[in-house]
Amino acid sequence: MNGGSEAPAVVVRELTRAFGEFVAVDRVSFTVARGEIFGFLGPNGAGKSTTIRMLCGLLSPTSGEGTVAGFDLRTGAETIKKHIGYMSQRFSLYDDLTVEENIDFFAGIYGVPADRKGERKDRVLRMAGLLERRASRTAYLPAGWKQRLALGCAILHDPPVLFLDEPTAGVDPLRRRAFWELIHEMAETGTTVFVTTHYMDEASSCDRLGLIDGGKIVALGTPEELRNRFMKGAVLEVRTSRPEDAAVLLETFPGVRSAALFGNTVHAVVDDPGAAASVASLLSTGGLADATVVPITPSLEDVFVSLVEGGRPDGVPGGEGTE
């Protein structure tokens, strides 16, 4: 199949990958439109990395089919590699090379034509804010700068589709903000961004989300749709001066499925959203007279936890134990 400009950036149907007996990715189907920011969420070991490796042409599917940038996953793996950018959680930079040498190296790998190289390199240095550090050894760069350099190297060849695997793990909020603005800027100019993250505030910045658990897609939609349609149960927000005590107490109440700290508040998952008043009076009886309880729209974290928790135990054996 040829790379048609009108084709969606990513289409997969019944995509499956098994490692021996273990099915890491199980009949996964979704579509990502061009220019979309698609957030791919899931617990550690759910099949995220295996899916990304198949989409990048690094691992062949056991069954199912799909295209990336219009090229077939099975027959066009080599072509796909030239039409995507990939940045992993462990930034794949060479520490002993300088900033500029890293860029040159990746420009070579991606086959950036010689007459375009100078201009692309300048663009990446400017975008990453590394113009003055071009001769620095990469090992000496702070993590936030390395991250921007890694992103720059991943887009040297102007790929239409960009895969980012936990690009902001451990990066501070200021740099995460700046990084996400870059992502939005690229999406506005037509680049499709496929990103995994454990930060739910970042997930809420995506156009659409897919949640994978145990190798299966368990939710797919906009952040708004996930919050409104996929939550199992209703969420009550509890505010009190003693949130930790409230969380422990709440879990002993009938009708409360779970309670967890959320910032400095507590989110309790209940069967009946009308339970707010009775929960408040139980808290008061339990010694938390200052507690206020209101039903809220669930946060993405609530949705994530409700869909994933109580499923399979953490730490599934198989091909991506170190994900």
Site residues for another protein per CB under 8 A? 42-45, 89, 142-144, 166, 169-175, 177-178, 180-181, 184-185, 188, 198-201, 204-205, 223, 243-244, 247-248, 260-264, 301, 304-305, 308-309, 313-317, 321-323
- Cα–Cα separations (whole angstroms), residue 146 to 79, 102, 135, 159: 28, 11, 14, 20
Q: Which is nearer to another protein, 65 or 301 (CB)?
A: 301
Cβ distance 159 to 85 under 8 Å?
A: yes
CA angle 144, 194, 48 (to 5 degrees): 95
Q: Which is nearer to another protein, 67 or 168 (CB)?
A: 168
Min dist CB 192 to another protein, Å, is 17
Q: Which is nearer to another protein, 97 or 178 (CB)?
A: 178
Q: Which is nearer to another protein, 118 or 321 (CB)?
A: 321
Q: Which is nearer to another protein, 194 or 199 (CB)?
A: 199
Cβ distance 165 to 89 under 8 Å?
A: yes
Min dist CB 268 to another protein, Å, is 13
Min dist CB 198 to another protein, Å, is 5
Min dist CB 158 to another protein, Å, is 20
Q: Which is nearer to another protein, 153 or 316 (CB)?
A: 316
Question: In terms of DSSP H, where are the helices of 189-269?
Answer: 200-203, 223-229, 243-250
210: left (phi over 0), alpha (psi -120 to 50) or beta: beta
Min dist CB 145 to another protein, Å, is 9
Q: How far is it, in rounded angstroms, from Cα 247 to Cα 255?
A: 14
Q: Which is nearer to another protein, 125 or 141 (CB)?
A: 141
Instruction: Say which residue the tokens 């959680």 belong to.
Output: 89
Cβ distance 85 to 150 under 8 Å?
A: no
94: left (phi over 0), alpha (psi -120 to 50) or beta: beta
Min dist CB 238 to another protein, Å, is 14
- With H, G, I as helix, E, B as strand and everything else as coil, classify residue 20: coil
Min dist CB 239 to another protein, Å, is 11
